[in-house]
Amino acid sequence: MSIPRNEHPNPQFRRDSFVNLNGQWEFEFDFGNSQIAQEMCAREKFSKEITVPFCPESELSGIGYKDFIPAVWYRRKFEITPAQLEGRVFICFGAVDFTANVYINGKKAGTHHGGYTSFRFDITDLLTSGENTVVVNAVDDTRSPYQATGKQSEELYSHGCLYTRTTGIWQTVMLEFTPKSYIESFRLYPDAANSALGVQVKVCGKGTLTVSASYEGRDAGSFTKTAENDVTGEIALSETHLWEAGNGRLYDLELKFGDDVVHSYFGLRDLALDGYKFLINGKSVFQRLVLDQGFYPDGIYTAPDEQALINDIKISMDAGFNGARLHQKVFEPLFLYHCDRLGYLAWGEYPNWGLDYSDAKVTDVVAREWIEALDRDFNHPSIVGWCPFNETWNYAGREQRDELLETVYKITKACDGTRPCIDTSGNYHVITDIYDNHDYEQSVEIFSQRYADFENGGKFHDPVNERQDIEYADDRPVFVSEYGGIRWAMDESDQKAWGYGNGPKTPEEYIERYRGLTNALLDNGKMFGFCYTQLYDVEQEQNGVYTYERGIKFDPAIFKEINSRKAKIEDLI
């Protein structure tokens, strides 16, 4: 039987020495969250099987159980050779929702909190030559105010803009083998203006580090240094190929530290803000973004295969979008690789929905996992900005705590000073590099007048949830980061179909509404971009440009013609 999702999960940090552990695992529900680890680790066999990396709620997992699941258990066996034990062995998880407890041969390897970020444990000392057993316990409480859930429904069924939940393992599990001295991590600092690459590497052990760049097989520069703990260096590139929207032009990168070899890549590009403009390599680029929520009919949070990840970018570009807000979910590194490769702009988000923003304890919850996300995805050239929060107005009695947003904004800037950060998308801004709002007005006339007034000196605010004490700071970049959401159900009899406002009656009315709303933003000299809701339908929310199955609703060329018009800000000097 072939291994599902058998590709390496992270082309930006790839060793050849890895073993993919996806496929059939033993599985057990733990509805009372009461099973004792010693008992589960000692059990001869679990009663069910699951296909990893798909969550038990999904059809691809082979289970498809969609009610609440407070805890689950996984188990599988794997082989280790004596040669592999001569170095270090790590077990790596792309993501497990929410708290993961990992046991190797009955002994605790580690615990990770957070449902969206990658983690690994050094399990060398827990292994024996020959057969070994890994047991994973995942605990998940979607209704906890201290657990970020993104768009996972807190009710039994999906409703409105909340969808089927994900529990447990939902990204690739693998073993990674390194020498005793190895590369722990690295950060890349492209300098397009000077055609150079700064590199900061953390190593375990002491030895000689060589970092080499190439472009389409041609040597582009390198440096060699003696390394212990942290080391920095710079490559003066012999060829200049800029990363830009629509063209990734990626360089290959190889890092060697003793016997350890890591393969990577980078894109050469600079980001800057200039008044109302967002500059990429010194050029004002209008960001024609679309909301992408990263859901799949058969895999829920997990794409069925790599081609599905590529296809989501392709259909977006076919419709004239040059990027996406990766909404209320930390997307997997393989998706970001294809964004990098294709020159597709991306805004990284944290799935903050489900948290109680009024509780100071939430700061620790967010900071821990958000720092992991920032660190994991720092090197992706496609990511042009960060947005740790979305719509933090009063929800279910949970008032926004401004100190939370301010703290997380400052954490973001401390971890990454190279990209802009929006403290919270929609409402309510506290401290931010960019101002945005969400506007689902369906009247083209009202929508157009609202932003014409702003361009002519009027106020920029959220039209629905305005808080007067947070004022827009003039001459700072602005965009409408959610608009449209025009309902269009392919099955007109579908009474569960949900969208914003009254849906158009005819295809012609739909297109004219889309054209009018979008033109109002393209023709505004203070807007550096827009983000349309959304790329495809998700379950009952049927306001996508495509269907949930990525089928065509309207000819994508119509959207491309509308979206591709030159924006007014691109003409301004």
Residue 573 has pLDDT above 60, yes or no: no
Residue 339 has pLDDT above 80, yes or no: yes
pLDDT of residue 501: 84
Residue 469 has pLDDT above 60, yes or no: no
Instruction: State mean pLDDT over 6-30.
Output: 97
Strands (E), 380-500: 383-387, 389-390, 424-425, 435-439, 478-484
pLDDT of residue 395: 66
pLDDT of residue 192: 97
Kindly report the three-state secondary structure assignment for every residue of 283-309: EECCEEEEEECCCECCCECCCCCHHHH
Cα angle vertex 424, ends 423, 429, to 5°? 75
- Residue 506: Cβ within 10 Å count: 8
pLDDT of residue 467: 62
CA neighbor of 379 nearest in space, from 488, 266, 498, 511: 266
Cα–Cα distance for residue pair 400/333, rounded to 1 Å: 31
Three-class DSSP category at 183: strand
Which token pair is 466? 């305005």
Three-class DSSP category at 522: helix
pLDDT of residue 398: 75
Lowest mean pLDDT among 81-95, 190-204, 465-479: 465-479
Residue 110 has pLDDT above 70, yes or no: yes
More confident residue, 64 or 499: 64
- Nearest 10 degrees: Cα torsion 77, 81, 84, 88: 40
β-pairing, 168-169 vs 96-97, is antiparallel
pTM above 0.85, yes or no: yes
- Residue 305: Cβ within 10 Å count: 15
Which token pair is 572? 């301004």
β-pairing, 168-169 vs 99-104, is unpaired
Identify the sign of the CA torsion 403, 408, 414, 418. Answer: negative
pLDDT band at 37 (very low <50, low <70, confident <90, very high): confident
Provide the angle, in degrees to the nearest 10, between the axes of the packed helices 444-455 and 507-522: 0
pLDDT digits (tens, 9 = 90+) for 381-414: 999 999 999 998 776 677 889 999 999 999 999 9
CA neighbor of 11 nearest in space, from 304, 334, 458: 334
- CATH superfamily, region 272-571: Glycosidases (3.20.20.80)
pLDDT of residue 372: 98
pLDDT band at 232 (very low <50, low <70, confident <90, very high): very high
Class of domain 18-178: mainly beta
Instruction: State mean pLDDT over 148-168.
Output: 96
Instruction: State mean pLDDT over 543-551.
Output: 97
For the chain, domain boundaries: 18-178, 272-571
More confident residue, 552 or 476: 552
pLDDT digits (tens, 9 = 90+) for 287-337: 999 999 999 999 999 999 999 999 999 999 999 999 999 999 999 999 999
Instruction: State mean pLDDT over 198-208.
Output: 97
pLDDT of residue 472: 74
Q: How far is CA 425 from CA 132, 385, 480, 483, 559, in A?
A: 46, 12, 10, 12, 25
pLDDT of residue 503: 86
